[in-house]
Amino acid sequence: MKNENNDDYIIDYILRYIREKYYEDIYLDLFAEKLSVSKVYICKHFKDKTGTNLVDYLNKYRMEIACEKLRNTDLKIKDIASEVGIGNVNSFIRIFKKYYGISPGEYRTYTAVLE
């Protein structure tokens, strides 16, 4: 996702923070505090500039990392969930299914067959 306005410090900060700390507990209050703007402004601005809301962007990024780990490691699904910043394995599975239509276990099995 390309940021059209290179001097947009809010978007730059959020995207960099997500890339560097996706595995941590990330929440809107954190960005509002760090950037000294309201949560409502961050949500609207992020959606206007990126075309997606902040939670969806964060979850999609985390799921991309999870897919990489599912393909390239033998880590348990609950460990992958934790490594991408989702402490509850059931939440992780639900979010994964939302983006890929199958469970993480099914994804791992399917991609193993393709290789």
pLDDT means over runs of 10, the chain (115 residues) = 60 97 94 95 95 96 98 96 97 98 95 76
pTM, two decimal places: 0.88
In a domain, 4, yes or no: no
Domain total for the chain? 2
What's residue 7's pLDDT?
Answer: 55
What's the gap between Cα 44 and its chain centre? 18
The CATH number of residue 70's host domain is 1.10.10.60
On whether both 53 and 27 belong to a single domain, the answer is yes
Enclosing domain of residue 81: 59-114
Query: What's 23's DSSP letter?
Result: T
CA–CA dist 39, 19 (Å, integer): 20
Query: What's 14's DSSP letter?
Result: H
CA-derived radius of gyration, the chain: 16
What's residue 41's pLDDT?
Answer: 95
On whether both 35 and 45 belong to a single domain, the answer is yes
What's residue 5's pLDDT?
Answer: 45
What's residue 112's pLDDT?
Answer: 76
What's residue 115's pLDDT?
Answer: 66
